[in-house]
Structures are given as C-alpha cells and as structure tokens.
Structure 1
Amino acid sequence: MSSGALPKTQMRGLLAKSLTFHIIGVIIVSLEVAASYEFGAAEPRKKAYADFYKNHDSTKDFEEMRKAGIFQSTK
C-alpha cells in the first residue's frame, strides 16, 4: 500500500472548465440535430411540394370539387 497523500481537488476554475466542456457539447449536438432535420425532413418536403406543383392544375381541381358539391356558394 502506498502511503502517499491524496491529490488536492480542483476548486478554482472548476465551473468554467465544466461549462466550457458542456457548451461545446451542446453546440455539436445542436448542429447535428439541425443537419439531420434539414436533410431528413425539410429537403424531402420541399422536393415533394415541388413535384406536386410541377404538374398541378388548380382550375381542374376546383371544377372537380365544385361538381362533387364541396362548395355551396358556387354552382
């Protein structure tokens, strides 16, 4: 058994060191989440809207809904 003294605990600057570590971690995690949302949800949604409106005919849709009786103010 060694009879050496225990090392002194770090008291000065402990909060600053801990905050620096956690702030860096939070920034990295938030960038990963933002990138995964952008490429996993936002881009596919933008592409789906672009594909839908590429061949969309709103007049044709309106006429179909009017004939189906959805609109009560038009005949």
Structure 2
Amino acid sequence: MTSRALMKPQMRGLLAKCLRFHVVGAFVVSLGIAAFYKFAVAEPRKKAYADFYRNYDSMEDSEEMKRAGIFQSAE
C-alpha cells in the first residue's frame, strides 16, 4: 500500500496573493460601474437638460404660471 503525502498548504504570502487578486478585481468592477453610470445615466441626463433649455423661455413660462393661478401674489 502506497501512502501519498498531502501537499503542504501555502502559508507564506497567502494574504498578499489573495489581496492582489481582489484589489485588481475590485478596481476593474468599479471602473466598469463608473463607465456604465456615465454612459447610461449622466450623458442622457445632460442631453435632456440641454434639449430642455435650448427652447426654454422663462418669461413665457412665468406668464403661463400666472394665468394658471400658481402665483397668487403676482397679478
């Protein structure tokens, strides 16, 4: 009967090896989430604001709110 010796577990440098893997993974994931947020949320929001204010007339909007009765003291 042959007895096989079990491999010794890696004890020295184990934390550094695991941290290196997890830090790189966390950096890649956070970079991906930041890019997703920029292109899926921030850019469309900036475009929507730009489109709104391109044709926005504050005086016309103010007059419309006066006619609707929103401004009770400005008649």
**Same-fold call, TM cutoff 0.5:** yes
TM-score if structure 2 supplies the norm length? 0.94
Mapped pair 1:44 → 2:30: no
CA-based RMSD: 1.3
- SS of aligned partner of 2:64: helix
Distance 1:4 1:72, change over 3 A: same
Q: Which runs of 5+ in 1 are unaligned?
A: none
State the percentage of identical aligned residues: 65
* Count of aligned pairs: 75
Amino acid of the residue matched to residue 71 of structure 1?
F
Structure 1 residue 8 displacement after superposition: 0.7
Measured in 1, the distance between the counterparts of 2:2 and 2:61 equals: 86
Structure 2 gaps of 5+ residues are none
TM-score normalised by the chain length of structure 1: 0.94
Spell out, residue by residue over 1:24-53, the C-alpha distance to the aligned partner (whole angstroms, 9 max, x if none): 000000000000000000000000000010
